[in-house]
Amino acid sequence: MIFREVEDRDLIAKARRGHVEAYNVLVSRWEKRVFNYLLRLVGQREDALDLSQDVFLKAYQNLKKLDDPAKFAGWLFRIAHNEAYSLLRKNRPEGEMTVEPKMAEASGGLFPIESTLAVRSALARLSDDHREAVLLKVYQGFKFEEMAEILSCPVSTVKSRLYTALDLLKQTLAPVNTGGAE
Amino acid sequence: MSCEIDLKAYVVGEATRQERGMVEDHVRGCQGCREELDRLNLTRAALVSLEDEEIPRRIAFVSDRVFEPRWWQTMWRSGPVMGFASAALLAGAILVHGFERAPFVDAAQIENRIESRVNARVVAAVNEAQAKQAAEFAKVLNATKLQREADLATFQQASEYYQKQMARMEVASNTGYGQ
């Protein structure tokens, strides 16, 4: 008997022919990543779970539209991005801005901060666009070009969002040590 | 910071090999950039320390037979399957044809039949050629005959003319005309 690793493209090909079980294997490979991306983006566990199910259902329904199976990850996260932003727009009234971190709160005198709570809090203070740039780059490892495709915006915008986000996070998670002056 | 060096691209893994080398060379001699790079690395380390959560409920889909395509629909929509089926059908037809019992063939009979057909064709061709030749000959003969009749008529006219001339000359000599 010969064992070989079944690749995503094999599963995609089978799922396209109506093999639900092949699609379930594909889901099991990606559900944790998609769920955590959505959880960090929308902030609510139940919402993230519901969105994850919607994302995988939409992906199954549109699997035949995926031109290149090698781009499945970017394509899946594009669906996730669209679903998440639909919810964020619905839940957040027009014009309401995300609270930007304040220097006084951000520095907090902790150096270095490794606490999970602190990281979550720092991410939560970012705007949705800035937070998403960090999630796609730092947690999902996408390249700038892939992020631009997922977010439907130029690479320059992606870079700008990520760099701004890193500056803001840096103020919280790695503040300048001023010898207790603050 | 006034240095024109992209530390963030370096930290998030977007810098090329050459750019990485430039950043590493630069921070050795620039304290401000070295501290900035340390802070960015700390920030990144803090971010990646956040572990992924397990999904509360696994996502799975079940097949609903009502909405599933029938076997022939699946087959019809699948190009490779249809291609394979066609090829298999063709191969089967060739195989059946190959094993089908061939009828008894008498070679001598076929040879005789071919020979008689060839002979008949040869005779017909010869007859046709002979008929053509006879027709040509008759045409030439007829033309010759007509020419001969025309020549005889000309000769007769010339002969009559000479006879008349001779008669005139004879009358003239008898009457002494011209003396």
For residue B13, which residues of chain A lie inside 8 Å, CB to CB? 141
pLDDT at residue A106, as a whole number:
40
Task: Using 50 as the pLDDT threshold, list the residues of chain B that sit under it.
Answer: 178-179
Q: Is the ipTM of this complex over 0.85?
A: no
- Total domains in chain B come to 1
State yes or no: pLDDT of A110 exceeds 60.
Answer: no
SS (H, E, C) chain B: CCCCCCHHHHHCCCCCHHHHHHHHHHHHHCHHHHHHHHHHHHHHHHHHCCCCCCCCCCCCCCCCCCCCCCHHHHHHHCHHHHHHHHHHHHHHHHHHHHHCCCCCCCHHHHHHHHHHHHHHHHHHHHHHHHHHHHHHHHHHHHHHHHHHHHHHHHHHHHHHHHHHHHHHHHHHHHHCCCC
pLDDT at residue B177, as a whole number:
53
Nearest-CA residue of chain B relative to A169? B43
Evaluate whether residue B98 is within a structural domain. no
DSSP secondary structure letter of residue A140: T
Domain extent at residue B44: 7-48
pLDDT tens for A136-179 read: 999 999 999 999 999 999 999 999 999 999 999 999 998 876 54
CB A56 within 8 A of CB A28: no
CA angle, residues A109, B24, A141, in degrees to nearest 5: 70
Q: How far apart are CA B100 and CA A118, in angstroms?
A: 84
Please name the residue that has the structure tokens 């949705």. Answer: A128
Evaluate whether residue B29 is within a structural domain. yes
Give the domains, in start order, of chain A with CATH numbers.
1-96 (1.10.1740.10), 98-182 (1.10.10.10)
Evaluate whether residue B31 is within a structural domain. yes
Q: How far apart are CA A24 and CA A11, in angstroms?
A: 9
Of all residues in chain A, what percent are helix, strand and coil, respectively (each to 5)?
70, 0, 30
State yes or no: pLDDT of A112 exceeds 50.
Answer: no
Evaluate whether residue B169 is within a structural domain. no
Evaluate whether residue B16 is within a structural domain. yes
CB B131: neighbour CB atoms within 10 A?
10
pLDDT at residue B108, as a whole number:
87
State yes or no: pLDDT of A3 exceeds 90.
Answer: no
Question: Could you give the 3-state DSSP secondary structure of residue A58?
Answer: helix
**Burial label, B111 (beta-carbon count in 10 A; 0-12, 13-18, 19+):** exposed
Evaluate whether residue B32 is within a structural domain. yes
- Closest C-alpha to A85, from A151, A136, A19: A151
Once rounded to an integer, what is the mean pLDDT over residues A59-79?
94
Count interface pairs A-B at CB distance under 8 A: 98
pLDDT at residue A117, as a whole number:
87
Contact B48 A18 (CB under 8 A): no
pLDDT at residue A116, as a whole number:
82
CA distance to partner chain A, nearest, from residue B92 (Å): 27
First CA to last CA distance, chain B? 161
pTM: 0.62
Top-confidence residue, A3 or A68: A68
Evaluate whether residue B170 is within a structural domain. no
CA distance to partner chain B, nearest, from residue A109 (Å): 14
CB A111 within 8 A of CB A174: yes
For residue A176, which residues of chain B lie inside 8 Å, CB to CB? 39
pLDDT at residue B69, as a whole number:
63
State yes or no: pLDDT of A9 exceeds 70.
Answer: yes
For residue A35, which residues of chain B lie inside 8 Å, CB to CB? 53, 55
| B contact test, residue of A24, A47, A126 with most B CBs within 10 A | A24
pLDDT at residue A99, as a whole number:
42
Cα four-point dihedral sign B31, B36, B39, B44: negative
